[in-house]
Structure 1
Amino acid sequence: MAITQILPHIISLCAVSTITQPSVDRVLVTSSNARTRQRSTRRLAYICIGCGTLFWMLFHCHTLILVDIEEIAPGYFTCYFRAGPYVVFMGYYSLFVKAIAVPLLLIVFAIWTAKNIRKVRRRRIAPVTTNTRNTAGNSEQPFHSKDRQFVLMVVVDICIYVACNAMVFVVVIYYQIAQNTGLTQISIFLSLVGSFLSDISYCVGCYAYLFISKTFRKEVKRLFFCQ
């Protein structure tokens, strides 16, 4: 039954990796250095996903041993972290990784991406036009519009993740207050709600992109209709 305890953590942290890796890829793609942009490849993405999955599996192998089967109701058993320092460690560990480290990384990479976009825009050579002033304005407008959509998508990504993982603070604080009372139905309820909200943050990004970006909607339509 310990497998049922370790699998959610591995899947959740692999999902966290899939959120941070696109942030790194955005930095590579928007770089003004051609060699840096060339590093953004499918091969690198596959390697990062594989290494990240292997790392989290090995890092959480201790969960196979340090969990206990507890009876929270007559005839109803569940696996949970062993009471004592280990459950405190896992609580603060989840708090640090999901609620502190990942949002900070997303913010840092988002700022880095915005700086890259601004740098590329400054270096971009204005098109030579022989017509009116409106021609130049129309040629620059799509570029600025796509930039705004791209930055807005990054900001929405961060906001969705922070909002959905704010429940981690509540769960960890409650566990520290009620750790001497053992596993209760309230703690299980908070844990399930926190896990559910955390998992939502990995699913709604696509729908947010469809709502925000016209370019993204066109690409999705082209993909599904093979245009």
Structure 2
Amino acid sequence: MLGLVLLNGFNVNLQNSNVIVCKLYFYASFLFATLSPTILILASVDRLLISSQNVDTRLNSSKRLAYFSISISTVFWIVFSCHALIKVNLQEFAPFYFVCYYDPSSSYLDFVSYFAAVINVIFDILMIIMSVFALKNVRRIRSIPREKRNQIRSMTKKDFQLLRCLFVQDVIYIIFGTSICIFYVFDAITKYQNGTILEQAIRNFLYTFMTFLYSTSYSVNVFVFIIVSKAFRHELKRTIYKIIGKDLVPIREEENRQENHERDNVEINVVSTIEVPA
């Protein structure tokens, strides 16, 4: 995202000035483009496990399993993305005009296009599956009477809020991921077709626009948590108050005050409706 901002917003091409920067730029792009949705999928799996009514299934949601899964995924994508360090270089497209780009061989360009399309389709399908099953679990929980919920599940309000945040994040990624997948498929089909200058300009515009939208999905997470999660808003407010030197009432005390206030209002209404005999 930072590279796109510097390139398209300020016309700063740091990757075209140095081979090492060029390789690291594409390597980081490949790495985080695959690692971020992988972490999101693992988080969705964890929420799916903890929302289950089966006690044995909920026990699989643990920090140990989370650390292990994240470590394995990170190592895998770090190793897999090393092809960018080998195949990406400063390519001379004109005399004394170098651009950081992939190896011009058609086989590697096809690999990049099809890999980006296939991996995004896989991520989208997995997120859809996780979201559907998590929503089913939540619907089952909400269909159970409140007095029996504590005997069946162990989800708290923060768990529900985090589940909603992850669901919104999944939806955002699916929308933007699907759009970039469609473009990559179109690009792979029309790559070797000679088009007019206008068609090439439209193609370059679509590539830049789709890439920007796809990168935007990684930067909206904080806004999703602010909009969806009450606990996150409270913690953010508490942090801001702490910076400026003010105290903030903890969220539990605030909820207790609201419950007591509502209870007092109910009691007052009940008393006011009682008719006193003459």
Same fold (TM over 0.5): yes
Q: Work out which of the residue numbers 221, 225, 228 in structure 2 matches 1:212.
A: 228
1:22-37 → structure 2 map (5 Å cutoff): 22-37=43-58
Deviation for aligned residue 1:193: 4.0
Q: Which residue of 2 aligns with 1:78?
A: 100
Higher RCO, 1 or 2 (CA under 8 Å, sep at least 6)? 1
What letter matches 1:8 in structure 2? S
Could you state the TM-score of these two structures normalised by the residue count of structure 2?
0.61
What letter matches 1:162 in structure 2? I
Q: Provide, for residues 52-93 of structure 1, a one-character-per-residue CA deviation record: whole Å limited to 9, x for no partner.
A: 111012223333333453234653321214421221122111
Q: Work out which of the residue numbers 11, 27, 31 in structure 2 matches 1:6.
A: 27
User: Is 2:40 the partner of 1:40?
Assistant: no
Q: Provide, for residues 4-47 of structure 1, a one-character-per-residue CA deviation record: whole Å limited to 9, x for no partner.
A: 32221012111111211111111011111223223322332222
Unaligned runs of 5+ residues in structure 2 are: 1-18, 149-155, 195-199, 243-249, 251-278
Q: Provide, for residues 169-204 of structure 1, a one-character-per-residue CA deviation record: whole Å limited to 9, x for no partner.
A: 2244235413477xx887666555444322221221
What letter matches 1:200 in structure 2? T
The question of whether the paired residues in 1 share the 8 Å contact of 2:117 and 2:184 is answered with: no
User: Is 2:180 the partner of 1:167?
Assistant: yes
Could you state the TM-score of these two structures normalised by the residue count of structure 1?
0.73
Q: Work out which of the residue numbers 43, 53, 58 in structure 1 matches 2:79.
A: 58
How far, CA to CA, are the matches of 2:60 and 2:238 in structure 1?
Answer: 26
The 1:62–1:173 alpha-carbon spacing in structure 2 relative to 1, beyond 3 Å, is: same
Give the greater-gyration-radius structure (CA): 2
The question of whether the paired residues in 1 share the 8 Å contact of 2:88 and 2:103 is answered with: yes
Q: Which residue of 1 aligns with 2:15?
A: none
1:191-206 → structure 2 map (5 Å cutoff): 191-206=207-222
The alignment of Structure 1 onto Structure 2 pairs a total of residues equal to 207
The 1:49–1:81 alpha-carbon spacing in structure 2 relative to 1, beyond 3 Å, is: farther
The 1:112–1:22 alpha-carbon spacing in structure 2 relative to 1, beyond 3 Å, is: same
How far, CA to CA, are the matches of 1:54 and 1:81 in structure 2?
Answer: 25
RMSD: 3.2
Q: State the percentage of identical aligned residues.
A: 27
Q: Which residue of 2 aligns with 1:116?
A: 137
What letter matches 1:69 in structure 2? L
The 1:26–1:201 alpha-carbon spacing in structure 2 relative to 1, beyond 3 Å, is: same
1:122-141 → structure 2 map (5 Å cutoff): 122-124=143-145, 126=147
What letter matches 1:94 in structure 2? A
1:146-161 → structure 2 map (5 Å cutoff): 152-161=164-173
Unaligned runs of 5+ residues in structure 1 are: 128-142
The question of whether the paired residues in 2 share the 8 Å contact of 1:24 and 1:109 is answered with: yes
How far, CA to CA, are the matches of 2:240 and 2:63 in structure 1?
Answer: 21
Q: Which residue of 2 aligns with 1:138?
A: none
